[in-house]
């Protein structure tokens, strides 16, 4: 008689999911703690869920021994609704990218995207006291606002093609912070910024954003949540504006995974070698 195949303890759930790099990232994290009893039986796989079948897939996963999951497109809002308990940063994000099974079989929903971004930015520059320009007002932008504000920047300006979406986010987050928040359209961005973050999906279509080169302060860091083998349109735009410090979102991807790994295992992996390896694979 053959043994039943052990179900993976952790998965990344999405649709599509075949392209996800999370299994490689988590395998590399786990390898850093080889022999650690906290990781006994740790395994991580991909799980393709039907677009209308997220909750059922999660239930099935839990029944087969699943302990935690990363959640990606298009299920982050489904995971937000499914979670019985939410961390403050998931609540603020309105989306969940990490689920952890609790002792009573309920799900804790967390969002580690913003922490991943902050950790990666901090590898390059300070955030405290800096002027931040966040480009975009969709889910990706919303997900990073609370962790950015927690770093005590001087100000946070949200610029978006559709002004009303940026204004809504400002209204939502200004209620709980004394840090100056502002919303504007791309053509109305006033002043200079030390940290300019692209959270739009414009790069996906190869498009540039209609922002002035003057928004980049001397010594500014331009950060694109997107990444790829080639320079992203936003980072090309920043380079042409004379910005020296330019970083793409690969470190954010590894950083959010490290935060999820820590939630599940209480271990803090070293992101640096994993990032180097991931860069080589692009």
Active site residues: 76
Shortest spacing between CB 119 and ligand ATR, in angstroms: 20
Tokens representing 201 are 């999906």
Could you say whether residue 209 binds ligand ATR (CB under 6 A)? yes
Could you say whether residue 192 binds ligand ATR (CB under 6 A)? no
The torsion angle over the Cα atoms of residues 216, 221, 230 and 157, rounded to 10 degrees, is -60
Instruction: Write the binding mask 89 to 128 for ligand ATR: x where contact by CB under 6 A, - elsewhere.
Output: ----------------------------------------
The answer for residues whose C-beta is within 8 angstroms of residue 143's C-beta and 6 or more apart is: 93, 94, 95, 97, 111, 113, 114
CA torsion sign for 266, 267, 272, 274 is: negative
> Residues 45, 53, 82, 138: which binds ligand ATR (CB under 6 A)?
138
The torsion angle over the Cα atoms of residues 109, 132, 279 and 272, rounded to 10 degrees, is -70
Query: What is d(CA 86, CA 190) in angstroms, rounded to the nearest whole number?
Result: 36
Could you say whether residue 200 binds ligand ATR (CB under 6 A)? yes
Could you say whether residue 62 binds ligand ATR (CB under 6 A)? no
Could you say whether residue 172 binds ligand ATR (CB under 6 A)? no
- What is the number of the residue whose Cβ is closest to ligand ATR? 138
> Residues 126, 185, 207, 272: which binds ligand ATR (CB under 6 A)?
207
Binding piece for ligand ATR, criterion CB under 6 A, among 37-45, 96-104, 201-209, 271-279: 201-209
Q: How far is CA 182 from CA 133, 217, 224, in A?
A: 9, 18, 20
> Residues 11, 132, 202, 243: which binds ligand ATR (CB under 6 A)?
202
Q: Among candidates 141, 151, 142, 158, which has minimal Cα distance to 226? A: 141
- 100 or 198: CB nearest ligand ATR: 198
First to last CA, the chain: 42
Burial readout 62-97 (b: 16 or more C-beta within 10 A, e: otherwise): beeebbbbbbbeebbebbbebbeebbebbebbebbb
> Residues 139, 179, 217, 279: which binds ligand ATR (CB under 6 A)?
139
Q: Helix %, strand %, coil % for the chain, to 5? A: 40, 20, 40
Could you say whether residue 206 binds ligand ATR (CB under 6 A)? no
- 50 or 205: CB nearest ligand ATR: 205
- 100 or 160: CB nearest ligand ATR: 160
- 165 or 279: CB nearest ligand ATR: 165
Q: Which residues bind ligand ATR (CB under 6 A)?
A: 136-141, 160-162, 165, 200-202, 205, 207, 209
């Amino acid at each position: 008689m053959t043994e039943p195949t052990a179900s993976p303890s952790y998965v990344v759930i999405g649709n599509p999911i075949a392209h996800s790099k999370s299994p490689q990232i988590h395998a590399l994290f786990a390898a850093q703690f080889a022999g650690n009893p906290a990781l006994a039986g740790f395994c991580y796989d991909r799980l393709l869920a039907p677009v209308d079948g997220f909750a059922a897939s999660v239930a099935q996963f839990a029944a087969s021994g699943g302990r935690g999951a990363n959640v990606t497109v298009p299920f982050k809002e489904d995971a937000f609704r499914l979670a019985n308990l939410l961390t403050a940063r998931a609540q603020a994000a309105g989306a969940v990218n990490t689920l952890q099974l609790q002792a009573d079989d309920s799900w804790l929903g967390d969002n580690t995207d913003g922490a991943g971004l902050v950790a990666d930015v901090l590898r390059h520059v300070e955030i405290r006291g800096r002027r931040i320009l966040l480009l975009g007002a969709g889910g990706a932008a919303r997900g990073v606002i609370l962790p950015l504000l927690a770093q005590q920047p001087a100000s946070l300006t949200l610029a978006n093609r559709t002004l009303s979406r940026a204004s809504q986010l400002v209204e939502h987050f200004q209620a709980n912070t004394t840090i100056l928040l502002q919303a504007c359209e791309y053509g109305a961005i006033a002043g200079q910024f030390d940290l300019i973050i692209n959270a739009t999906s414009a790069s996906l279509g190869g498009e540039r954003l209609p922002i002035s080169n003057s928004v980049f302060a001397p010594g500014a860091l331009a950060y694109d949540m997107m990444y790829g083998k080639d320079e992203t349109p936003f980072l090309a735009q920043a380079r042409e504006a004379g910005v020296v410090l330019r970083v793409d979102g690969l470190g954010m991807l590894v950083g959010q995974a490290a935060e999820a790994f820590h939630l599940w295992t209480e271990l803090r992996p070293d992101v640096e070698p994993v990032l180097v390896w991931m860069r080589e694979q692009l």
